[in-house]
Structure 1
Amino acid sequence: MSEDVSPTFPPLLHGVEVPAHVDAFAKAVTQAMVDAEPGRITFARDSGTMRAAICFVPDRVLRQALPGALFAVLLGLNDALGALAPPEVAVHFAWPNRVKVNGAYCGGLRAAAQYNDPDSEPDWLVIGVEVPVMPLDTRDPGHAPDETTLWEEGCVDLGAPQLIESWSRHMLVWINRFVSDGIAPLHEGWRHKCDTLGEEVSAPEAGTFMGIDEDGGMILRQDGETRVVPLTTMLEGTG
């Protein structure tokens, strides 16, 4: 896909383009506050970085809606990269919202909702995704070994518009699966792509990452005790 061509979207989804300098996630949140239109994807015309956000209108409480939306976005991105990237590119997830490519961090997700109360049913939920496609500067790629871009990992022919379009189509498959089959298949898909299960982690807190609960919360073992860090802690404040 040419960088001058905007992505096209599958039925039930439609795009709203913003200039490259505009924060697509913040714009999507503002749009949702005025008009919560499900399936609206706000995306930036930025060839160097994939920046997009989708508006959901949940039909369940936030603690149940968030994992379905978040995992659908992540798994859609994984499938898009699997279709477009070279076969040696490995994609993994780090709880709650980071994306890893070949072992290094490569973007992640943001989330905001009308209410941050886990037991409320918000009118809108926005999930944003940002993935660096091209290096942002000319420094040596090894200057930050735990961070990378798709270009540095061999995706030299992949542009942001192409990735946004493919992501939207694969994401819709996961959204439909969540609607028809519930959260279980999305949980399974996410766990399969997480490379820190059973290991010691330092973020968001130090402990052993034992798994996720039914609402996507991190089950963390600390000093012989087990606690859950709710997925809703990743929500950005809106009210």
Structure 2
Amino acid sequence: MLDSVDSTNAEALRHAPGPAWVVAGEQTAGRGRRGRPWASPRGNFYGSLILSPREAPEIVALRSFAAALALHDACVALTGSPQAFALKWPNDVLLNGGKLAGILLESVGQGRGVAHLVIGIGVNLIAAPDPSQVEQGALCPVSLLAETGLRITPARFLDQLAPAYARWEETLTGRGFAPLREAWLSRAARLGEPIRARTGTETHEGIFETIDSTGALVLNQGGQRRAIPAAEVFF
């Protein structure tokens, strides 16, 4: 484990081709989706896995679901409370309805393919951002310590996360996305309920019906099904 880095994703890319985990006690320039800053107090988990996948980019991107399932497995193994955790499309892990963890995939291209993929993971083990720091309408951040009373170190969390991810990676490469899709849906937050999905220019409302074979969100809008490949979801 490194003491301090700018971001574990950036550090992981410097260690390409991998596979290798990079975990740091502190990030000085951590970031989330859409370039948002990611608060990085010591004691939380900041880790990135660097891979050099060979599939087409649309298959490579499905590893966000492998990462989410691995995070869920690690959290359940450490707490023994499967009912407390859920997965929010496309890349968050919830604890008691609040945001516990996020996933950020970044890649370096090679022609039309992906030369290197880095899967960045941040988990609020002991501290969560103040609700005033999150986007209006977003879920309230929570920490594992505050919600469960358990103080888990980043090293102990990695001991659960790394083998859990390896199992889902093997499933994805050996059996395809179908078993990951089924497992993800069984852990999905707000499945069958009304949600809002906001793209860069539009907001779509409907019933969260499923995810399709590409990982896209499928909304039922008055009997019409709409597949949305990328969006921010609000409950």
Q: TM-score, normalised by structure 2?
A: 0.77
| Structure 2 residue ranges without an equivalent (≥5) | 27-41, 132-137
**Distance in structure 2 (CA, Å) of the matches to 1:210 and 1:137:** 31
Determine the structure 1 residue equivalent to 2:204: 206
Q: In the alignment, is the contact (CA less than 8 A) between 2:76 and 2:82 conserved in 1?
A: no
Count matched residues.
206
Q: In the alignment, is the contact (CA less than 8 A) between 1:25 and 1:53 conserved in 2?
A: yes
Percent identical: 24
Equivalent position SS for 2:71: helix
Does residue 49 of structure 2 align to residue 54 of structure 1?
yes
Aligned letter for 1:27?
E
| Pair 137,93 (structure 1): closer, same or farther in 2 beyond 3 Å | closer
**Distance in structure 2 (CA, Å) of the matches to 1:206 and 1:95:** 14
* Shift in Å, 1:187: 0.7
Q: In the alignment, is the contact (CA less than 8 A) between 2:25 and 2:43 conserved in 1?
A: no
Equivalent residue in structure 1 for 2:117, among 117, 125, 136: 125
| Pair 219,89 (structure 1): closer, same or farther in 2 beyond 3 Å | closer
Aligned ranges 1:90-239 → 2 under 5 Å: 90-115=84-109, 120-135=112-127, 146-204=140-198, 205-208=203-206, 209-222=208-221, 225-231=224-230
Determine the structure 1 residue equivalent to 2:24: 44
* Shift in Å, 1:213: 1.3
Q: Deviations over 1:95-132 (max 9, x none)?
A: 10111011111121011112499xx4211111111011
**Distance in structure 2 (CA, Å) of the matches to 1:171 and 1:101:** 19
Between Structure 1 and Structure 2, which shows a larger proportion of strand residues?
2
Aligned letter for 1:28?
A
Does residue 79 of structure 2 align to residue 85 of structure 1?
yes
Equivalent position SS for 1:215: coil
Equivalent position SS for 2:141: coil
Q: In the alignment, is the contact (CA less than 8 A) between 2:101 and 2:122 conserved in 1?
A: yes
Aligned ranges 1:4-19 → 2 under 5 Å: 17-19=1-3
RMSD between aligned residues: 2.8
**Distance in structure 1 (CA, Å) of the matches to 2:127 and 2:212:** 36
Q: In the alignment, is the contact (CA less than 8 A) between 1:85 and 1:158 conserved in 2?
A: no
* Shift in Å, 1:70: 1.2
Q: Deviations over 1:56-77 (max 9, x none)?
A: 222211111211x112211111
**Distance in structure 2 (CA, Å) of the matches to 1:225 and 1:59:** 36
| Pair 74,136 (structure 1): closer, same or farther in 2 beyond 3 Å | closer
| Pair 186,155 (structure 1): closer, same or farther in 2 beyond 3 Å | farther
Q: In the alignment, is the contact (CA less than 8 A) between 2:128 and 2:142 conserved in 1?
A: no
**Distance in structure 2 (CA, Å) of the matches to 1:89 and 1:116:** 41
Q: TM-score, normalised by structure 1?
A: 0.76
